[in-house]
Structure 1
């Protein structure tokens, strides 16, 4: 389990990370494990690149593909369309 992600959710801080070759700023909302056992992060990307070309919006990232992760001092606000108990996760470590 990644403690930086957990601390960012508890502290409501934006994360800066690299994912699949792109720098991104994301607002972490939920962190858990999927049915295949992979750790995943439900987040809202506010800026940066994306293979899909969609640089803003909801993302579900596999934590094993995250590189160069750090917590920023920027605070996040829970998105109004966020739903707790993400169905993609069979086990939730942290959530807003």
Structure 2
């Protein structure tokens, strides 16, 4: 299963990013304005260099390590989710 399928099935994904393990609810996957493959997600578990362990974040796919699509699902889009996220020049998948 890939990121697009995880979004379609509302599956959590986990990975290491900037030295921290993360568990997130992926909402949008595509190419950001700088040409990076990226995921807009709501982090629900793990750490963060910013000290904010929960909340909306944009992750560059090339910096994710050990990406795993989990069997666990989430029920719906998080409050604050914006379909057609303007940070993306191209959207491959979104809730």
Q: TM-score, normalised by structure 1?
A: 0.93
SS at match of 2:78: coil
Instruction: Pick the aligned partner of 2:47 from 49, 63, 79.
Output: 49
What whole-Å deviation, never above 9, does each CA across 1:19-57 have from its counterpart, x for those lacking one?
A: 111101000000010122111110000010000000000
Instruction: Pick the aligned partner of 1:21 from 19, 41, 46.
Output: 19
Count of aligned pairs: 94
- CA deviation after TM superposition for structure 1 residue 58, in Å: 0.4
SS at match of 2:2: helix
Segments of 5+ residues of structure 2 without an aligned counterpart are none
1:82 counterpart residue number: 81
For the aligned residues, what is the CA RMSD? Answer: 1.0
Q: TM-score, normalised by structure 2?
A: 0.94
- Stretches of 4+ moved more than 4 A in 1? none
SS at match of 1:7: helix
1:66 counterpart residue number: 64
Segments of 5+ residues of structure 1 without an aligned counterpart are none
